[in-house]
């Protein structure tokens, strides 16, 4: 197996951009179905406006150049080509930190966070490593079934060792909240702390008898949220990802509608999506999926699962979270050594690094400062 680390640069050929624009020009729009707001899915008027912006105003080349400001590399691990960003702090003593993105996101999730973690003017800094999960973006898709968060974690541990890091932290949200604790389990002598956005200690029906009335009321409210009751992507991607991938790979409108649906449902900020996440940042993520053809290949965490379960965590290294609620700390402490459980961090979108990068970066520093 080669251990070579190769420089990488994003360079989408112009023919791909031209093809996208031609497809956007030839959209066959459906009628708006009866119903208020989002009751039938993404409203036609909203998507028309967004698709028009993508076609006529969004500038991929500008954002491609912005992403290429981050040093990027490829290396082969476990038979997979793994794409990653590696941004070193000016402080040689900075703690290495590996960030794991979620679904349906990509390394773009951290585009606004990286400078805030590496710039010494912001306080404690980190050497930041941002790999693309296999099947997402520029990382090769898994060649078979049976992949798990643990297998990804082993790749991450090998990557950090290959970069020369003996002591490092891990962070993750969404799917990353499953991977980040697993890195500590597979590399217990190297991981100093695990930081996740949320998800630990989330109650289930079987926990109800142990919950206070206030906790039960909060649980009932949780179960009413859009991100719990929206389109069941877990079931959809577990059952027939190939079927839906035809539409997502062939039609930019289908791809845009799907991404808009999920980012809307994942929006717990109380603000419209375009206010929670910069429109260009959102479209950069959509464009990355489109150009790399990874709508289907990124579904493997779902079709390789048997059902949904909240992340459990680990006890190998100390754990911190960005937001404890709606998790319950005593439930999280069944499987984690919790040392950081804030309840007052600013709420926001499920992908908080895109919505609240300043607060998120500050809280990451707060957690890892406790481990010095």
In the structure encoding, which two tokens stand for residue 96, read together?
A: 């290495």
Q: Are 9 and 72 in contact (CB under 8 A)?
A: yes
Angstrom CA distances, 199 to 38, 96, 171, 210, 323, stand at 26, 24, 13, 19, 9
Which of 25-29, 48-52, 206-210, 288-292 is least confident? 206-210
In the structure encoding, which two tokens stand for residue 11, read together?
A: 């360079």
206 pLDDT band (50/70/90 cuts)? confident
284 pLDDT band (50/70/90 cuts)? very high
- pLDDT tens for residues 207-237? 888 888 888 887 777 777 666 667 889 899 9
Question: Position of tokens 């990557």?
Answer: 159
Angstrom CA distances, 296 to 24, 255, 302, stand at 21, 11, 11
Residues contacting residue 127 through CB under 8 Å, at least 6 positions apart: 86, 87, 88, 89, 94, 95, 96, 97, 118, 165
pLDDT at 205 over 90: no
pLDDT at 370 over 70: yes
Work out the mean pLDDT of the chain and round it to a whole number.
94
Q: How far apart are CA 366 and CA 223, in angstroms?
A: 30
- pLDDT tens for residues 90-116? 999 999 999 999 999 999 999 999 999
In the structure encoding, which two tokens stand for residue 240, read together?
A: 């027939």
Q: Taking the C-alpha atoms of 137, 358, 170 and 233 in order, what is their torsion angle to the nearest 10 degrees?
A: -50
Name the percent of the chain lying above pLDDT 90. 82
Higher pLDDT, 24 or 308: 24
| Closest C-alpha among 178, 159, 186, 181 to residue 170 | 181
Q: Taking the C-alpha atoms of 32, 34, 38 and 43 in order, what is their torsion angle to the nearest 10 degrees?
A: 10
pLDDT at 1 over 70: no
Identify the pLDDT of residue 229: 67
Higher pLDDT, 204 or 244: 244
Beta bridge partners of 126: 95
Identify the pLDDT of residue 227: 61
- Rounded average pLDDT over 239-261: 97
- Rounded average pLDDT over 10-39: 96
3-state secondary structure the chain: CCCCEEEECCCCCHHHHHHHHHHHHCCCCCCCCCCCCCECECCHHHHHHHHHHHHHCCCHHHHHHHHCCCCEEEEEECCEEEEEEEECCCCCCCEEEEEECCCCCCHHHHCCCHHHHHCHHHCCCEEEEEECCCCCCCCCCCCCCCCCHHHHHHHHHHHHHHCCCCCEEEEECCCHHHHHHHHHHHCCCCEEEEEECCCCCCCCHHHHHHCCHHHHHHHHHHCCCHHHHCCCHHHHHHHCHHHHHHHHHHCHHHHHHHHHHHHHHCECCCCCHHHHCCHHHHHHHHHHHHHHCCCCHHHHHHHCCCCCCCCCCCCCCEEEECCCCCCCHHHHCCCCEEEECCCCCCCCECCHHHHCHHHHHHHHHHHHHCCC
- pLDDT tens for residues 252-275? 999 999 999 999 999 988 899 999
pLDDT at 294 over 80: yes
Residues contacting residue 348 through CB under 8 Å, at least 6 positions apart: 268, 269, 276, 355, 356
Q: Are 198 and 317 in contact (CB under 8 A)?
A: no
- pLDDT tens for residues 130-189? 999 999 999 999 989 989 999 999 999 999 999 999 999 999 999 999 999 999 999 999
In the structure encoding, which two tokens stand for residue 180, read together?
A: 């980040």
In the β-sheet with 80-87, what is the strand arrangement from edge to edge? 5-8, 72-77, 80-87, 126-131, 95-100, 168-172, 191-196, 318-321, 337-340
Q: How far apart are CA 145 and CA 248, in angstroms?
A: 21
Q: Domains of the chain, with CATH numbers?
A: 42-369 (3.40.50.1820)
Residues contacting residue 183 through CB under 8 Å, at least 6 positions apart: 98, 153, 156, 157, 170, 191, 194
């Amino acid at each position: 197996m080669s251990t070579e680390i190769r420089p990488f640069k994003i360079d989408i050929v112009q023919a791909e951009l031209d093809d996208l624009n031609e497809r956007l020009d030839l959209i066959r729009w459906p009628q708006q179905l009866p119903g208020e707001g989002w009751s039938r899915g993404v409203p036609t008027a909203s998507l028309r406006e967004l698709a028009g912006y993508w076609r006529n105003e969004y500038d991929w080349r500008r954002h491609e150049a912005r992403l290429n400001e981050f040093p990027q590399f490829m290396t082969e691990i476990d038979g997979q080509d793994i794409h990653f960003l590696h941004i070193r702090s000016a402080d040689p003593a900075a703690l290495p930190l590996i960030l794991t993105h979620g679904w349906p996101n990509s390394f773009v999730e951290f585009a606004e966070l990286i400078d805030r973690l590496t710039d010494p003017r912001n306080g404690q800094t980190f050497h930041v490593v941002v790999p693309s999960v296999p099947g997402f973006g520029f990382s090769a898709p898994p060649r078979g079934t049976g992949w798990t968060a643990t297998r990804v974690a082993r790749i991450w541990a090998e990557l950090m060792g290959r970069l020369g890091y003996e002591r490092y932290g891990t962070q993750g949200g969404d799917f990353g909240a499953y991977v980040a604790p697993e890195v500590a389990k597979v590399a217990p002598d190297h991981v100093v702390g695990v930081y996740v956005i949320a998800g630990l200690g989330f109650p289930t029906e079987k926990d109800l008898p142990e919950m206070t009335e206030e906790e039960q009321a909060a649980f009932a409210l949780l179960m009413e949220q859009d991100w719990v009751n929206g389109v069941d992507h877990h079931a959809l991607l577990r059952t027939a990802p190939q079927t839906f991938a035809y539409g997502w790979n062939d039609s930019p409108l289908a791809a845009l509608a799907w991404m808009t649906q999920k980012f809307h449902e994942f929006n717990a900020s109380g603000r419209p999506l375009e206010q929670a996440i910069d429109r260009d940042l959102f479209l950069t993520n959509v464009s990355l999926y489109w150009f790399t053809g990874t709508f289907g290949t990124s579904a493997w965490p779902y079709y390789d699962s048997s059902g949904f379960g909240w992340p459990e965590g680990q006890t190998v290294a100390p754990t911190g979270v960005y937001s404890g609620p709606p998790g319950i700390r005593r439930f999280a402490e069944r499987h984690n050594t919790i040392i950081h459980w804030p309840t007052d961090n600013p709420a926001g979108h499920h992908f908080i690094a895109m919505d609240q990068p300043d607060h998120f970066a500050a809280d990451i520093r707060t957690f890892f400062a406790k481990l010095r």
